[in-house]
A and B are shown apart, each in its own frame.
Chain A
Amino acid sequence: MNTAFNNLVIYNGYPLSVVVAVAFHSFILAFLIWVQSSSNIDSLELVQPTIIKALFIDENPQVRNERILERQRLERVEQQRIAREEEQQRQQEEADRQAALERQQAEAEAERERQALLEREELERQRQLELERRLEREQRELEEQRQRDLAEAERRRQIEEAERQRQQAAAEAAAAEAARTEFELVQSATAIIQMAVQQVWNRPPSARNGMRVILQIRMLPTGELLDARITESSGDPAFDRSAENAAYSAAPFTELQSLPINVFNANFRTLSLIFQPEDLLN
């Protein structure tokens, strides 16, 4: 036993006990916290899919044809220019040759001749320069014209596109509105018919819960009843007849006159009414 341990054990071992107990508890606390923190590591991570926007660009065939024609025309112009230059060169060579010939023929006249030649050359050069400049200008103009045409076409296309979208949106909104109002109209008219028929329906004493008659009625736009036909009988002739009578005595349904004709045609030309005595006790 060394002295440090001895010091801990004296006084009945209380110092050692306190040290051991506190160490034990702090160890357990540290362990719990470590377990907690290590179990927290694996958390969910959401991976957002990358969205690629696809654009479809259609090419106007007319514009494409124009472009091809333009290119062909430019090539033709270029060929012409080259031919002209060759011609000029040939002429100049001819002139040079003549000048040399004259120089050989008349040396005395040479000075005057040379002067004239120089003048001619100068003129020729200016002419050539002018020709080149003209060609260049022509080409530039052509190019500008082409650009303008393209821009114009693009602008027209955009305007058309916007117009088309706007019209489509308007048409959709109108259709939605119409559908909504039509649905409401049908609902209210159906409710009116149901109420009218219900008020005049006299159920026979033989009516029982669970009986069901489906009556198909045909109507005119004026609300008059054309005919009523039983499509599904309840099995009790008296009950069937009472339903039929109710439909006939409730007609005409004058409220239908106020409906737009297309709504009427779509919904009320033929209408099925279901008669069911739900409120009876037996």
Chain B
Amino acid sequence: MNDGISLIELILNASPAVQIVMLILFFLSIASWVIIVQRWLVLSSARKGVFSFEQRFWSGMDLSQLYKEGSQMQQDNMQIVGMENIFRAGFKEFMRLRQQGAVDGEAIMEGAQRAMRVAYSREEEKLEKHLAFLATVGSVSPYVGLFGTVIGIMNSFLGLATQAQATLQVVAPGIAEALFATGMGLFAAIPAVVAFNRYSALLDMVTSSYITFSDEFSSILHRQVHST
């Protein structure tokens, strides 16, 4: 490209259909990057939260003390995320059932476990929100780009049909603009696919640690129920 057509000219002179495809791909790319950054913030903070809460939980602190600290944080307008939510839901239910004077230990355990399951599924839902969007962008935007390419090449060959003399100069700009659409599609798709795979692995790790924690916690509660 040492003469004439610059990138801007290429985009501005493209046919309307290809321009629409390029616009769609550009916004898809921006949206996918928004999701990538936001998910990264959420998932990395969740992972950090798992480590810090596990440290606090296994430090031998009294469980009711831990619960009170959490309530204090809630009053200070700080968000409570991840594992602590599961702990709080289970512990709250456990304490409430005990105060109501439920004698059946199994019933108390069941109630606590159910509350933890609910909290767990809420947390999981929070974590995997919008990840599906990344997957969609990753798989669809190459096709969208390809669609633009097909339309662009079709247009340039239709233009060629009306020419008496078929020269490379007639088709070259059209093919260049068409290929640019494919390039944009790939540009949007590659980061989205990479991020989706990375975040799926991270999500698996975090949720499995949640499940492990809730099992461990329910075993502790179980001990408490049956020791009394």
- A residues with a Cβ closer than 8 A to B are 9, 12-14, 16-18, 20-22, 24-25, 32-33, 36-37, 39-40, 42-43
Contact = CB atoms under 8 A, between A and B. Distances in A.
Contacts of B3: 40, 43
Given A9-B41, A12-B42, A36-B1, A17 B6 contact: no
Contact of B33 (A12, A24, A42, A43): A24
A33 B9 CA distance: 11
Contact of B7 (A12, A21, A33, A42): A33
A43 B37 contact: no
A18 to B, nearest CB: 5
Interface of B: 1-3, 6-8, 26, 29-31, 33-38, 41-42
A14 B34 contact: yes
Contacts of B36: 17, 21
B37 A16 contact: yes
A43 B7 contact: no
A17 B2 contact: no
B7 A17 contact: no
Contacts of A18: 34
Nearest to B26: A25
Contact of A17 (B1, B8, B26, B34): B34
B30 A17 contact: no
Given A12-B38, A21-B37, 8 more contacts: A14-B34, A20-B37, A21-B30, A25-B33, A33-B8, A36-B7, A39-B2, A40-B6
B6 A14 contact: no
B155 to A, nearest CB: 23
Nearest to B129: A12
B37 A40 contact: no
Contacts of A13: 37-38, 41-42
Contacts of B37: 13, 16-17, 20-21
Contacts of B29: 25
A134 B38 CA distance: 117
Contacts of B6: 33, 36-37, 40
B30 to A, nearest CB: 5
A140 to B, nearest CB: 71
A22 B30 contact: yes
Contacts of A32: 7
21 contacts: A9-B41, A12-B38, A12-B41, A13-B41, A16-B37, A16-B38, A17-B34, A17-B35, A17-B36, A20-B37, A21-B37, A22-B30, A24-B33, A25-B29, A25-B33, A32-B7, A33-B8, A36-B6, A39-B1, A42-B2, A43-B3
